[in-house]
Amino acid sequence: MLARQVRRVVARSHGFAKILPEGLTPRALGRTGWSRQFADTSSAAALRKRRRYLWVLGLLAAGCIDEGFRRCLQFWAVVFPLWCHYLWVDKVSHRKDGAQGLEARDAEFSKLHVRYSPIIRGATLYMRGFYLKAAQLVSTRDDFLPEVYLEWCRKLQDEVPMTLSSDEARKVIAKELKLEDLDALLTDWVEEPIGTASIGQVYQARLRSTGEDVAIKVQVPNAEKMFRADISCLKMFTYLAIPWAFEQMKEIEKLFEAEFDYLEEFRNLEAMRTNLLPKWGHRIYIPRPMKELSSRHVLGMELLKGEKFISAVRRRLKPLAEREGKTVEEYEQEQIEALRSGRRKAEAAWWLRWKALLGRWMHRVRHFGRRDLEPLDVGGIFEMLMQIHGQQILLDGCFNADPHPGNILLLEDGTTLGLIDFGQVMYLPQDFRVKLARLIVALAERQPEQVARYESEIGVKRKYYKQDVQYRLCSFWLDRDDEEITQGLNIFDLLVWGESEDPVLSLPEGYYLACRCSTTLRSTALAFGVYISSAAYWKPYAEERPPDHLHLAIFVPEVLRRNQA
């Protein structure tokens, strides 16, 4: 059975049809004569052969029994041959210092990308689980993945395929809320989900008692078990293939400990509303969770009416694309490629804010009374998002570690942002935030010696503690990635360089997730042509003393409180 399942995932990925022997079952063994080979133990060679066959049978039997083990086998069946091919080109056939030259090396890698991208895409969509989430994580930057991979990974930010049917979702909700008839609680159920993520789907309905529109997030059955198996498998892969990412995978694994309990996300929503809305409520909104619609695997909240931020930007690109005789997709791809190639430079957020103000004024003069296609203040929006997350990390002590663009809505008024999906919220103790604040100030003031010192004080353990490596990599994660930092390297090569020069041995809890928050926001901004420095916008919060009483103490989940203790 496992052999057929492995063949199925590989076949759907367009490759490697001959990974395991066909029909490897006890009955087939008798037909093929393998059992006779098992019985022949007269020689040492036959005994070794018998042990190998029994080992394969035991492996397959274990895979049939345990789904996590089966998924791990499926992963390696697809990835291992690809990894070996990439490794051969990198270390043997087209080395950086080889006689073929860099152009031939790049051309050979381009062939591999074209050949294997459809295979990885097919396996990702078939296996789902954490592999979908990983594709979302690595696609926030346009210069991290090759374009052929980035093209389909980027779509998964807001176009994740459905897992549950509408009827299956209703059954899960009724079971979780202990209801015999869901129609007694909800009416006007919308069959198509309004959102699909890697572990759940969101449906729209209306409360029968009050008539209020609600959004109900439903977790896919067995998602937790599947994710844990996938993360363990990817940890093994990163340890072997991408050593610098291993410590980061360990932090991601810890973060997912609480994401599968929607009651924790319920508390996260309450914490975020309490911390952010008093100051930012005129510019953002966070949905109110509903206790009567929530359980460990179901989360009900008020429905935010609007559109995804990415969709709103694309809709406003349409007149510009039509002016050049192109589709929105063609125009968008052209702009992205211009940024990747350097033909177009990202502009500072403050400058774009003033350009947007001028653009809105001109639009109102030319199209009096029509505001639906007014230019968005993209620069101002990313300035605000960076400031909000600076407050969360350095003052509030709890922040959304996954601020990717699919979690941002533009509400119906055209100016207010809706922030959703707070499953990955990290809670930071005050002593850690004090140390992080010193590091942020040193980064903002461009002091390499102080950056190296405070990175060590916060708990980052390195092999050599080289100041240049510490400064450049700290700046990349928590501030900027301009020419001074990258020195002509793409991001992947920069991280590989850092690992080769001064390997990271361990990271303090919460550090990588704060770094990921910074890079995700900057990368998303860069995709819209906005250059922004994390440290510059976080410095005022780093210099501000955290309040003595924090909402953190009320809302921190038990599992995270135990971890901190």
What pLDDT score was predicted for residue 370?
56
Question: b/e per residue, 83-108, with b = 16+ CB within 10 A?
Answer: eeeeeebeeeebeeeeeeeeeebeee
9 within 8 A of 67, measured Cβ to Cβ = no
Q: What is the spatial distance between Cα 189 and Cα 210, in angstroms, rounded to a whole number?
A: 15
List the structure tokens of 109: 């890698």
Of the candidates 383, 409, 360, which has an alpha carbon nearest to the alpha carbon of residue 531?
383
What pLDDT score was predicted for residue 225?
85
3 within 8 A of 21, measured Cβ to Cβ = yes
Q: What is the spatial distance between Cα 457 and Cα 434, in angstroms, rounded to a whole number?
A: 11
What are the CA-CA distances from residue 357 to residues 363, 367, 372, 387, 533 (Å)?
A: 10, 15, 15, 20, 21
List the structure tokens of 28: 């087939």
- 3-state DSSP assignment of residue 531: strand
* 221 residue type, one letter: P
SS3 per residue for 272-314: HHHHHHHHHCCCEECCCEEHHHCCCCEEEEECCCEEEHHHHHH
List the structure tokens of 469: 């490596």
Widest CA span in the chain: 95
pTM, full prediction: 0.78
Mind giving me the DSSP string for 386-431? HHHHHHIIIIISEEES---GGGEEEETTSSPEEE---SSEEE--HH
Cβ count near 201 (within 10 Å): 24
Segments in the chain below pLDDT 70: 1-65, 158-159, 320, 336-345, 355-356, 359-375, 545-565
Element spanning 461, H or E: strand 461-462
What pLDDT score was predicted for residue 176?
94
Q: What is the spatial distance between Cα 533 and Cα 51, in angstroms, rounded to a whole number?
A: 59
The beta strand positions in 122-252, using DSSP E, are: 186-187, 195-196, 200-207, 213-219
What pLDDT score was predicted for residue 558?
40
